[in-house]
Amino acid sequence: MDRKRPEAAENVCFSASDGSASESKQMDLWNLELTEPESATRSVLLSQQLSYLMLHVLSLASLEFNLIASNFIRGNASCSESRETMGSTPATSRALYADEDGKLVVRHVPFPEPQEGELLIKVLYSGVNPADTKIIEFFGLKNYVIGTEFCGEVLESKTLASTSFTAGDIVAGVLSGGQNPPLRWGTHQEFMTIIASWAWKVPENLPPQDAAGLSIVGLTAATGLFNDIGLPLPPSVAKGTPDEGVAAPEGTLVIWGGATSVGMAAIQFARAARVSSIITIASSKRHEYLKTLGATQSFDYNDMDVTEKVKSTLESTSGTIWALDARGSPESQALLKKAIPQHDKAVLASVMVGGDSEYKGIMGARHFDVEFELPGGQKMSWLKDMAAADRHWRGFRWAVENYGAPGGYVPTPVRVFEGSGEDAIKEVYNVKNMGTFGKLVLKHPLK
């Protein structure tokens, strides 16, 4: 059965060394029973938010899925385009690869061999993020397959029996390879592996191309709003938490970068959390679209007086001011802060970690300790917070359960690239430069 993509307010499409898996305890995100990982410190997942400083490296250290149970999203996933039975095992997997010089090239890498506890995946789509290339520049990484998120089909393998999955399941997830990821974990390739507890089944309401690019964006926005800013969880996922039965929050959420992928997700999470006043700063050509997501008022960031106009509007509001920098740069942090009037109830958060000290850096790695070494030897660390981990997974669950439903999560504008590996590399660099709207995913195999 083919999966049909729910209608969005705007639909944008176009064509055109190995390592071993470590054991990990699981978190059943459906029942939300958290267990701490065996290791006090886990490798950091470099996220979409690395840009403009180190934001993309640190803001989504959040997404190491070693605590996701394999039954995170329950559903009888199927996808006709993926139901091909593999004949003989291919010798190689076609991949986007960072070579010895850090240059992206198309390369045939060895067919991945899953380790114990891993799934062998035929990649259907892989999500493109700015961090795919920024980490190469920032850390000088080389000789590895790029990409961190995907949607694909589980294939038969000698390790499959040790997992709760079956061949044919459609799954999505995020790969965490830290600074030395094994070749088999890169997502921009035909075949890959993933530790089973890092994957989640894709339900029927969520098309595979959308699932490929939802995890990083959704979890960044969820942890930013429900942890750092402190909004209450959407009522449908708040059962059994202190947020159950609480009144709607009183205040205004203002988002700089409302048309970024994180910004668009944040608007919808805020709407689900019953925030009645949502102000965005974005390109004027996106204002009508952002209104369909839940924005109540928008300003053009190209307007020379934009900060004064936003400030004037906020001065007439009541309740708390929640300010989210979804653009993630020193400039956007400075402009947003300038737009916030003197207020005794203002909370500022940014997808850039390590910027202005008045901002809370959105750090989604709440369920394990994080220690990260920067160039030059400087180390940064964050302690685990299991209560915070519970909250951002609940928030993300709302998006998955309500994806495309009336009054639910409006499908993200997804741009599916179908073409050559060489042209795909050009598109990856374009995303790095923030030259795109919506989410870019690559269809595999690349031509």
For residue 18, tell me if it sits in a domain: no
Pairing of strands 191-195, 346-350: unpaired
**CATH code, domain with 165:** 3.90.180.10
For residue 29, tell me if it sits in a domain: no
Question: Could you give the number of structural domains in the chain?
Answer: 2
Q: 182 and 279 share a domain?
A: no
For residue 1, tell me if it sits in a domain: no
For residue 8, tell me if it sits in a domain: no
Domain that holds residue 347: 218-401
- Output the CA torsion sign for 211, 406, 281, 319: negative
Q: 111 and 224 share a domain?
A: no
What is the token pair recorded at 376? 């030059």
Over residues 160-165, mean pLDDT = 94
The angle subtended at Cα 12 by Cα 269 and Cα 310, nearest 5°, is 45
pLDDT in tens, 193-227: 998 988 889 999 999 999 999 988 998 999 999 99
3-state SS string over the chain? CCCCCCCCCCCCCCCCCCCCCCCCCCEECCCCECCCCCCCEECCCCCHHHCCCCHHHHCCHHHCHHHECCCCCCCCCCCHHHCCCCCCCCCEEEEEEECCCCCEEEEEEECCCCCCCEEEEEEEEEECCCHHHHHHHHHCCCCEECCCEEEEEEECCCCHHHCCCCCCCEEEEECCCCCCCCHHHCCCECEEEEEHHHEEECCCCCCHHHHCCCHHHHHHHHHHHHHHHCCCCCHHHCCCCCCCCCCCCCEEEEEECCCCHHHHHHHHHHHHCCCCEEEEEECHHHHHHHHHHCCCEEEECCCCCHHHHHHHHHHCCCCEEEEEECCCCHHHHHHHHHHCCCCCCEEEEECCCCCCCCCEECCCCCCCEEEEECCCCCEEEECCCHHHHHHHHHHHHHHHHCECCCCCECCCCEEEECCCHHHHHHHHHHHHCCCCCCEEEEECCCC
- Give the pLDDT confidence score for residue 372 in this predicted structure: 59
Pairing of strands 170-174, 149-155: antiparallel
Q: 99 and 238 share a domain?
A: no
pLDDT in tens, 309-324: 999 999 999 999 999 9
C-beta of residue 28 within 8 angstroms of C-beta of residue 125: no
28: pLDDT strictly greater than 50: no
Residues paired with 119 in a beta bridge: 194
- Give the pLDDT confidence score for residue 188 in this predicted structure: 98
Q: 211 and 226 share a domain?
A: no
Over residues 7-26, mean pLDDT = 35
Over residues 173-183, mean pLDDT = 75
Query: Rounded to whole angstroms, what are the CA distances from 59 to 87, 132, 216, 370?
Result: 41, 14, 10, 11
What is the token pair recorded at 197? 């507890």
Q: Which of 404, 422, 445 is nearest to 214 (CA)?
A: 404
Per-residue confidence at 22, pLDDT binned at 50, 70, 90? very low
Q: 284 and 384 share a domain?
A: yes
Residues paired with 372 in a beta bridge: 380
Q: 329 and 376 share a domain?
A: yes
C-beta of residue 369 within 8 angstroms of C-beta of residue 40: yes
C-beta of residue 187 within 8 angstroms of C-beta of residue 147: yes
**CATH code, domain with 388:** 3.40.50.720
Q: Is the peptide bond before 90 cis (omega within 30 degrees of 0)?
A: no
Q: 209 and 65 share a domain?
A: yes
Q: 231 and 379 share a domain?
A: yes
Per-residue confidence at 284, pLDDT binned at 50, 70, 90? very high
Q: From the CA atom positions of the chain, what is the Rg in Å?
A: 21
Q: 236 and 115 share a domain?
A: no
Q: 81 and 182 share a domain?
A: yes
438: pLDDT strictly greater than 90: no
For residue 10, tell me if it sits in a domain: no
Q: 143 and 231 share a domain?
A: no
377: pLDDT strictly greater than 80: no
For residue 357, tell me if it sits in a domain: yes
- Give the pLDDT confidence score for residue 306 in this predicted structure: 98
What is the chain's mean pLDDT, rounded? 81
Q: 311 and 343 share a domain?
A: yes
This prediction's pTM: 0.79
CA distance linking residue 189 with residue 146, whole number of Å = 8
